[in-house]
């Protein structure tokens, strides 16, 4: 069966989800009745050496997510299409903003009814949630403080703004404003208290994003009097000792800036960082502020927290073109030193240089988490790369609100739905094989074919052939999507291959140049760790071929050293 056929039938998916939901509810009620329901631990990001696992209800969890448009969470009606879209996409997590201006319309007076609606909606659709705290920082057209409440905006004396190099105030709270830091921290901790009060058993909310693409736009640093004093003061000792302790593995730009000043062990920001000083300085003070907000929230309810980064986009040349202080690759180490309460620094990747940027954020102290990427078909295959190539913990395109139109999946959303559909049953395997070197991804680039090395003895060649199109041909529909897939080595000569838009040929790397023989090619799926075979592909169908649409194959091989050579072969 071609999985794509199912893919377009939204109601079937919804029915399946609802059945699952009803079953889940029944199990919960029985368990509660029998007083056997053991409390599961709060979601956690567990680090073992340089390996990371997001644990939800005590089990590893990989995020197949989608983020709403910015305003969708201000009216629960606007969330209905969001839930339907996420279900049809086979997503397991929704990313939804919470607006400071709406939850605290007057100082100290909180209104959480929207938060309740969001959590209810997610539960009803069997989705987990990542809530995005739009507080002091969420850039919107020349303003970084668009989501602060009116009483903050109207009182620039108390909640003072950052200034540009000419001394002019910006529409941006200064990271040196202690009153704003305290107000934001109080609001965020009230939010976390509320989440704890309604979700500490069910754990619908699994992570919190603290602020959104923070930083100062239109200036390389804050030039307020407070900031100027700090800039000419000593770099804090905590950052200096971080640099010394991590000297050999600092990100290249920061290492080069420090080396350019002959690695001083103390000094003012310009003395220690030279040309990178304004960005490093801003990163430190923005990160320090956000760390205080996160710490206040975690003191109440310690969910894992992360910050997302505005990506440096083509044409941007210096801090201020991108919000200065946002966690760019230049200043990741500054953030790590300043913000221990922020577990992950997550790049928003909209550009075609996905893998390059992903590599910069995948570090022994930082797992890859993609909380924003393009919802265009061009970016769907990167989910395979994020989870398999980079051992990432999640992937989430932005603006998925209208993936379903008139009860059907929009053709532009089919590539993501196809990707998530084949990944959904494979998640337990992917969790098991991350960091083992036994996961491989296929992402179609400019070339006609791609070679994937599967070790010393075997390679696979993905052939991209003619452009693959999702769904029945429709005039003018932007359906063409690059191919994407994953290979999982279950055991030697035993592979699961899933994806769309390519065919795969295995090649032996030892002995005579030839392909291994197929022991079997089966179409099917996984239920937990059990392979459920559907068709056995032999005869005319004996190909590892995904050009007709998304599917999962299990391929067992017999290599040449396991079988007799044919004479003259």
Give the single-character DSSP code of 318.
S
The C-alpha atoms of residue 280 and residue 327 are separated, in whole angstroms, by 10
Instruction: Tell the smallest beta-carbon distance from residue 398 to ligand DGJ (Å).
Output: 5
Write out the DSSP string of 327-378. Answer: --GGGHHHHHHH-TT--EEEEEE-SS-HHHHHHHH-BTTB--EESEE--SGG
Q: Which is nearer to ligand DGJ, 96 or 303 (CB)?
A: 96
Q: Which is nearer to ligand DGJ, 307 or 368 (CB)?
A: 307
Instruction: Tell the smallest beta-carbon distance from residue 116 to ligand DGJ (Å).
Output: 23
CA-nearest of 505, 415, 501 to 465 is: 501
Contacts with ligand DGJ by CB under 6 A: the residue count is 6
Q: Which of 333, 348, 389, 401 binds ligand DGJ (CB under 6 A)?
A: 348
Q: Which is nearer to ligand DGJ, 138 or 551 (CB)?
A: 138
Q: Indicate whether 212 belongs to the interface with ligand DGJ (CB under 6 A).
A: yes
Q: Which is nearer to ligand DGJ, 181 or 213 (CB)?
A: 213
CA-nearest of 147, 121, 119 to 131 is: 119
Q: What is the dihedral of CA 349, 351, 353, 355, to 10 degrees?
A: 30
Structure tokens belonging to residue 516: 């291994």
- Considering only residues 14-73, where is the footprint of ligand DGJ by CB under 6 A? 70
Structure tokens belonging to residue 494: 């035993």
Q: Which is nearer to ligand DGJ, 310 or 546 (CB)?
A: 310
Structure tokens belonging to residue 71: 């305003």
Q: Which is nearer to ligand DGJ, 212 or 560 (CB)?
A: 212
- Could you tell me the sign of the dihedral formed by the alpha carbons of 159, 164, 169, 172, in that order? negative
Q: Which is nearer to ligand DGJ, 99 or 281 (CB)?
A: 99
At 129, is the secondary structure helix, strand, or coil? Answer: strand
Helices (H), 34-89: 76-88
CA-nearest of 505, 485, 504, 493 to 551 is: 485
- Considering only residues 373-402, where is the footprint of ligand DGJ by CB under 6 A? 398
Q: Indicate whether 269 belongs to the interface with ligand DGJ (CB under 6 A).
A: no
Instruction: Tell the smallest beta-carbon distance from residue 212 to ligand DGJ (Å).
Output: 5
Q: Which is nearer to ligand DGJ, 132 or 283 (CB)?
A: 132
The C-alpha atoms of residue 370 and residue 360 are separated, in whole angstroms, by 13
Cβ-in-10-Å burial (0-12, 13-18, 19+) of 474 comes to: exposed
Q: Which of 84, 164, 222, 372 binds ligand DGJ (CB under 6 A)?
A: 372
Instruction: Tell the smallest beta-carbon distance from residue 479 to ligand DGJ (Å).
Output: 22
Q: Indicate whether 213 belongs to the interface with ligand DGJ (CB under 6 A).
A: yes
The C-alpha atoms of residue 130 and residue 371 are separated, in whole angstroms, by 9
Q: Which is nearer to ligand DGJ, 146 or 300 (CB)?
A: 146
Residue number closest to ligand DGJ, CB atom = 213
Residues 272-291: x/- map of binding to ligand DGJ (CB under 6 A)?
Answer: --------------------
293: phi then psi, degrees, rounded to nearest 5: -65, -50
What region does 549 belong to: left with phi over 0, alpha with psi -120 to 50, or beta?
left
Q: Which helix (H) or strand (E) holds 96?
A: strand 93-99
The C-alpha atoms of residue 138 and residue 504 are separated, in whole angstroms, by 44
Q: Which is nearer to ligand DGJ, 176 or 350 (CB)?
A: 350
Residues that bind ligand DGJ in the complex, under the rule CB under 6 A: 70, 212-213, 348, 372, 398
């Amino acid at each position: 069966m071609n999985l794509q056929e199912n893919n377009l039938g939204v109601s079937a998916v919804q029915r399946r989800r609802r059945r699952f939901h009803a079953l889940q509810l029944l199990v919960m009620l029985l368990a509660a009745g029998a007083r056997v329901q053991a409390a599961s631990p709060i979601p956690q990001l567990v680090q073992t050496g340089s390996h990371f696992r997001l644990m939800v209800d005590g089990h590893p969890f990989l995020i197949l997510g989608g983020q709403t448009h910015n305003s969708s969470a201000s009216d629960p009606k606007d969330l209905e299409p969001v839930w339907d879209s996420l279900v049809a996409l086979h997503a397991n997590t929704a990313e939804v903003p919470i607006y400071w201006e709406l939850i605290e319309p007057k100082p100290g007076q909180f209104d959480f009814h929207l938060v309740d609606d969001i959590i209810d909606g997610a539960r009803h659709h069997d989705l987990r949630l990542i809530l995005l705290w739009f507080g002091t920082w969420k850039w919107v057209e020349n303003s970084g403080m668009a989501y602060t409440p009116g009483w903050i905006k109207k009182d620039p004396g108390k909640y003072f703004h950052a200034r540009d190099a000419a001394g002019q105030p910006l529409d941006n709270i200064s990271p040196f404003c202690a009153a704003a830091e305290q107000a934001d921290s109080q609001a965020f901790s009230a939010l976390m208290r509320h989440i704890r009060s309604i979700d500490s058993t069910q754990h619908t909310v699994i992570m919190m994003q603290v602020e959104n693409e923070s930083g100062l736009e239109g200036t390389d640093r804050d030039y307020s009097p407070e900031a100027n004093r700090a800039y000419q003061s000593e770099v804090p000792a905590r950052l200096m000792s971080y640099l010394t302790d991590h000297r050999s593995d600092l990100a290249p730009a920061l290492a080069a800036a420090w080396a350019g000043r002959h690695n001083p062990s103390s000094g003012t920001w310009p003395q220690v960082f030279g040309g990178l000083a304004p960005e490093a300085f801003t990163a430190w003070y923005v990160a320090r502020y956000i760390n205080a907000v996160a710490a206040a929230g975690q003191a109440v309810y310690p969910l894992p927290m992360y910050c997302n980064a505005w990506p440096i986009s083509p044409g941007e040349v210096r801090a201020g073109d991108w919000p200065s202080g946002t966690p760019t690759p230049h200043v990741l180490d500054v953030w790590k030193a300043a913000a221990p309460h922020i577990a992950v620094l997550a790049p928003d990747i909209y550009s075609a240089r996905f893998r390059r940027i992903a590599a910069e954020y995948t570090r022994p102290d930082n797992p890859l988490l993609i909380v924003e990427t393009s919802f265009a078909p061009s970016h769907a295959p990167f989910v395979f790369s994020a989870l398999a190539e980079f051992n990432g913990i999640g992937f989430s395109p932005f603006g998925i609100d209208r993936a379903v139109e008139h009860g059907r999946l929009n053709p532009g959303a089919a590539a993501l739905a196809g990707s998530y559909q084949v990944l959904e049953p494979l998640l337990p395997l992917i969790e098991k094989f991350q960091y083992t070197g036994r996961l491989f991804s296929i992402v179609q680039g400019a070339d006609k074919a791609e070679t994937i090395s599967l070790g010393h003895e075997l390679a696979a060649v993905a052939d991209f052939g003619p452009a693959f199109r999702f769904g029945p041909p429709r005039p003018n529909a932007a359906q063409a999507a690059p191919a994407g897939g994953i290979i999982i080595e279950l055991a030697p000569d035993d592979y699961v291959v899933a994806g769309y838009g390519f065919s795969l040929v295995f090649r032996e790397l030892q002995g005579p140049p030839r392909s291994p023989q197929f022991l079997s090619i089966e179409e099917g799926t996984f239920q937990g760790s059990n392979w459920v075979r559907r068709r056995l592909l032999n005869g005319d169908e004996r190909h590892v071929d995904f050009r007709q649409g998304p599917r999962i194959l299990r391929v067992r091989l017999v290599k040449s050293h396991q079988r007799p050579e044919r004479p003259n072969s």
